[in-house]
Amino acid sequence: MNNNPYIEYSGEVLTALQNNQPVVAVETGGTFAGLPYPENAETAGTVMEEIRKNGAVPAYISIMHGRIKVGMTESEIDDYGKRRGTMQKASGREIPLLLARGEYGVMTLAAAMVVADQAGIPVVSGGGMGGVHRGAEVTMDISSDLEEIARRNVIVVCSGAKSVLDLNLTMEYLETKSVPVIGYKTDEMPAYMAVESGIRLPCRMNSTEEIAEAYKIKNSLNIASGMILMNPISAGYAVDAVRMNEVIEEAVICSKRDNVRGKAITEYLMKYLKEKMGADSVEAQKNLIIGNAVLAAELSVSLL
């Protein structure tokens, strides 16, 4: 556990870490930037409840009033949810800037990995990973999620990479960085809100005990990278992959027309996707966030 003065632990998380109890770090980006209030706060409440039900302690990772919060109370969750749209979305590079200015920030999966690794929390739960953007061979636009997972000793539980990305190039990049990618009870890479992507994964594991053993062996061999556990969305909540890809193609064309660049592209494409897919996309996002948190809790228990 890191005693850095810029990191504040909730009482529940502090007790768990001191007593070597399982803790799950949860990114705030997918819930608090992706869902409107009060659905974001309600979903966060469900996530925390499900993590506790499955034997672990929830630790939402955020920046509030110039401090990194590892674990949030119900009142903090509600206040944080109301601030949607007013907080900067932070990866690792923005953390010191937000702290220096005493601001609030929504932590991406990359930022959550940075904090979890320093806090000694090995399991991080998220929605979908960032990855290599379409056209990255020209723009060099690659999410910092991929860089952080290559150097942080954590297991990220997610529903694949966000479907607006170039999924084939994302998998190639992870292979280059020697990051183990595991499908949980699946041979195919999930495409965030869709179950199928058409991309075969290099490894399938069917139990959290087997995954925990692989992580322990990795550490014993001093292999530096983290690991990714890809967990498909429940089939009943998944969106139609064909329709989703059609909408994404439309969104890419519109983003070029509107000259959207850099880190704004993902937000633009995801907003377009949700607007076109309607309520189904919101329900899908909520389901995969909750489902990943449940699996992360089970895995954190298996690691002990």
Contact between 245 and 196 under an 8 Å Cβ cutoff? The reply is: no
CA distances to 59, 89, 226, 265, 303 from 134, rounded to whole Å, are 33, 21, 24, 10, 36
Angle made by CA atoms 25, 296, 204, in degrees to the nearest 5: 135
Contact between 239 and 196 under an 8 Å Cβ cutoff? The reply is: no
Q: Is residue 109 packed enough to be buried (19+ CB in 10 Å), middle (13-18) or exposed (0-12)?
A: buried
Question: Which residue is catalytic, options 162, 274, 286, 298?
Answer: 162
**Complete DSSP assignment for 18-61:** HTT--EEEEESIIIIITS-TTHHHHHHHHHHHHHHHTT-EEEEE
Is 172 annotated in the active site?
no
Is 162 annotated in the active site?
yes
Question: Which residue is catalytic, options 12, 27, 50, 298?
Answer: 27
DSSP label at residue 200: B
Contact between 160 and 190 under an 8 Å Cβ cutoff? The reply is: yes
Return the residue matching tokens 């010191």.
Answer: 96
Polymer length of the chain = 304
Question: Catalytic amino acids?
Answer: 27, 162
